[in-house]
A and B are shown apart, each in its own frame.
Chain A
Amino acid sequence: MVKDGITSHVQQPGDPMKMPKSRISQWIRTVLVSIIACTGLSLFASPASADSANADLPYSISGTVSESGAPLEGVKITVTGPSMAVPTEVLTAVDGSWSIGVPEKNSDYEVKLDTETLPAGSSIVDDPDTTAVESSSMSVRVGPGGRVALNFFLGDVERATTSLLDQLLSRIINGVNFGLMLALASIGLSLIYGTTGISNFAHAEMVTFGALASLIFVQLGAPLWIALIGAVALSAFFGWGMDAALWAPLRRRNTGLVQLMIVSIGLSLAVRYTYQLIIGGGTEQLPGADSPKLQLFGSISLSWIDIASMVISVFLLAVFAWWLLRTRIGKATRAISDNPSLAAASGINVDAVVRVVWIVGSALAGFSGILWAFFRPGIRWDMGGQILLLMFAATTLGGLGTAWGALIGSIIVGILVETSTLVIPSDLKYVGALVILIVILLFRPQGIMGRKERVG
């Protein structure tokens, strides 16, 4: 996160749906005021060298003031609040840190940065990517932890003037990137649904699997491209294994669809926590995740990873389209999606085709997981679960069980998620996609590409 000037954005504890802040990056270098309210274990709490006031009070608000990563000294911070008799002032120390003790927790305070004391040319700018920041003055709530960190990030005034159109364009490109990645995962989900009827909640774990496998290859010393190919191959094998060990026997038992769905939930829980057992709760990075941004045109900049990610996604989707439309097994897959009994009656080996669908779906999901690891960025045990509902939203939007619907739905969801932050707070950006999911069911339950049938 250091790279885009948000010096240290800490994920709030237990906030698995947090999105990468850094994608849109350089052009928003202007940023930035960011509020990081992390209580208790705060990384910022009680910096030893901080200039502090009211240090004898039990609770505190503290933070740093920095400009483009460099700390600012001598900036006046004032804290007022209903529980304080008089406003307390403090000047920041050499390292930009400050700390003010406050008498009560579970209470609101107003933190004001005196812009008069800033060096000439500095200004606090709205950061479209952070949540609760308006200006040099912010209100903050000291929660039950009794400590709050509040960091001011400053940027140059002239760079703050990214036009709305540029922002929109940049976000749309970013959204397409996210949507293509999502499409790779949702196509598998949709195909599996189409051929077997399973709403596969464990698909999230297949996404995580690809990222984890690539991480393991990298840690074994393989170059990145070998790691990626190896990870996709392992993912395909994982899909084969799941079908052979679990889903094929259940098909033979004629297990009901609802049971299969709950089995997938159980599988998802077991596999997800097995990942956590193996890699722990932290975040790991693949090499290249912090690659520099290239200025393209206007204020649009992308890293080579972003560009490669989009190119490879489009290539894979094209190969997949050829496979589904032109090859025998692709045609058989579509036949089974249409009508499994008729397909079986006309001599298609349904079991074998479903096996192939699991392999293809899992390989695509695995690759999507690698792209997701770069996009977030970082590899976590629950990273797949973070986009599972978006995958469901995309497939439902496009039409459950249709491959092209999943593609279109994913791109719409991707763009929607990324552009919605222009209007709504970024920690609510998934909400828009999920609300769309509910609304679409009201008006067109079969989705954009789905056939109209009686679904009730």
Chain B
Amino acid sequence: MDFLGILNSTVGFVIDPVTIAFSLAALGLAVHFGFAGLLNMGMAGFMALGAYGYAIGILTFGLPWYIAAFLGPLAAIVFALILGIPTLRLRGDYLAIVTIAAAEIMRLLFLTSTFGPITGSADGLSGHNSGSFWADNPLPEGQYDFGPFRGTELDWWVRIVGFLILCVAVAIVWLLVNSPWGRVLKGIREDEDAVRSLGKNVFAYKMQALIIGGVLGALGGLVLAMGQNVNPNQYVTSITFYIWTALLLGGAATVFGPLAGAVIFWVIQAFIGLLMPALAAEGLLLGLSSIQAAQIKFILVGIALVLIVVFRPQGIFGNKKELTFVK
């Protein structure tokens, strides 16, 4: 078993576009749940909008990539408005059920063959990056390896763009949550009625938080689409649950917790995903096949989610005083 090789590939995941995309989505969820107390279970839908908006903008409308990139976030704003208007006045679990249903509706709409010519149906979309996005890559052609971080000029271009988006997003979120606006939001999370009695429009604040978090989720989908093909199977409900796991792991009511959570989540996920099949191939896993062994990581994600929520609900970096599970 090539343990060093596994370790090496695992470390490479720290700056993988997938990790960056999940960091963005987890940050969006932190705005939703950590700061505003909104139970958004439909992050996959927001991500799908970001990814499909980008790919459809390029493939169908022929836009340059930097303009197509705005389509997803715009769609996410509309999506958030549609979700928020019926549910934000209701109890939290209604929002959870509605968002999970809405995300599933989005996925089914992207999957159906009715819109196949635009969405690519079950095949998804590909080739959206090979046009203007790759053409605008300033890096000279070649293979760039820095220890475990390897990749061609195209891989690095995706990472750089993704990382820039992430930095801007983190800065904005940090400024927002430390502003008076952020304090009102935290107030709503702790006691909605108290904030309402101070004359604040709670509904408007919640809606703003839903939109901002949703746009961050769409940006996550955008980064994901820059690195690979777009496929409806990527945006299943499980993805939302993984983002929740990453968020709760790092700490919901923090800005850097979700980022750390996403990195830890993906690194551990990648490590187990590589280690288990390798162990199975050596016959060390009670006769499980490599395919079965690769599934163990999903079981462990579920167990980890239960354990975090029960035993350390504030997450690794969270503050016990700022528990978001107040209700």
User: In the complex where A106-B126, A266-B305 touch, is A261 in contact with B299 (Cβ < 8 A)?
Assistant: no
Bound form: Cα–Cα A246–B92 in Å: 23
Given the complex of chains A and B, what is the CA–CA distance between A14 and B245 in angstroms?
23
Cβ contacts under 8 Å, A277 to chain B: 288, 292, 295-296, 299
Chain A nearest Cβ from B225, distance in angstroms: 14
B313 touches A425 (CB 8 A): no
A131 and B112 contacting across the interface, CB-CB below 8 Å = yes
- With A258-B325, A262-B248, A445-B90 already in contact, the answer to whether A268 and B302 are too (CB < 8 A) is yes
Interface locus among A217-225, A340-348, A415-423, A435-443? A435-443
B229 x A257 contact (CB < 8 A): no
Q: Assess whether A294 is interfacial by the CB under 8 Å rule.
A: no
> What residues of chain A lie closer than 8 Å to B89, measured between beta carbons?
456
Chain A residues near B302 (CB-CB < 8 A): 265-273
- Secondary structure class of chain A's binding surface, majority of residues: helix
**Of the residues B90, B97, B229, contact of A392 by C-beta under 8 Å:** B97
Q: For A17, list chain B residues within 8 Å (CB).
A: 104, 108, 111
The residue from B86, B231, B300 contacting A438, defined by CB atoms under 8 A apart: B86
B114: contacting residue among A132, A265, A393, CB under 8 A: A132
Within 8 Å of chain A (Cβ to Cβ): is B46? no
Q: Give the contacts of A357-415 with B (CB-CB under 8 A).
A: 385, 389, 392-393, 396
CA distance A246 to B307 in the complex (A): 11
Q: Which residue of A lies closest to B301 (CB)?
A: A269
Contacts of B126 in A (CB 8 A): 106, 144
Chain B binder among A305-313, A315-323, A426-434: A426-434
If A141-B116, A396-B97, A456-B90 touch, whether A389 touches B298 (CB-CB below 8 Å) is no
Please tell me the number of chain B residues within 8 Å of chain A, measured between CB atoms: 64
Q: A106-B126, A270-B306, A455-B91 are in contact. Are A259 and B112 (CB under 8 A)?
A: no
Give chain A nearest CB distance to B137 CB in angstroms: 22
The answer to the question of A182 belonging to the interface, with a C-beta cut-off of 8 Å to chain B, is no
What per-residue 1/0 map shows which CB atoms of B281-306 lie under 8 Å from chain A? 00000001000100110111111111
List CB contacts (< 8 Å) of B82-133 with chain A.
83, 85-87, 89-94, 96-98, 100-102, 104-105, 108-109, 111-114, 116-117, 120-124, 126-127
Q: Which residues of B contact A144 (CB under 8 A)?
A: 120, 123-124, 126-127, 229
Given A12, A257, A276, A439, which contacts B93 in the complex, CB threshold below 8 Å? A257
The residues in B between 114 and 163 inclusive whose CB is less than 8 angstroms from any CB of A are: 114, 116-117, 120-124, 126-127
A253→B86 CA distance, assembly (Å): 33
**B39 and A438: CB pair below 8 A?**
no
Asked if residues B120 and A143 are in contact (CB atoms below 8 Å), the reply is yes
With a cutoff of 8 Å between Cβ atoms, the chain A residues found around residue B248 in the complex are 262
For residue B176, CB closer than 8 A to chain A, the reply is no
Partner of A427, one of B90, B93, B114, B124: B114
Closest residue on chain B to residue A390 by CB atoms:
B101
Cβ of A256 within 8 Å of any chain B Cβ, yes or no, is yes
A455 contacts B94, CB within 8 Å? yes
A437 with B98: in contact, given A37-B122, A456-B89 (CB under 8 Å)?
yes
B108 close to A428 (CB less than 8 A): yes
Q: Quick one: which of A13, A268, A271, A428 contacts B112, CB cutoff 8 A?
A: A428
Inside 8 A of B97's CB, which chain A residues have their CB? 199, 392, 396, 437
Contacts known (A438-B98, A441-B98); A14 close to B233, Cβ less than 8 A: yes
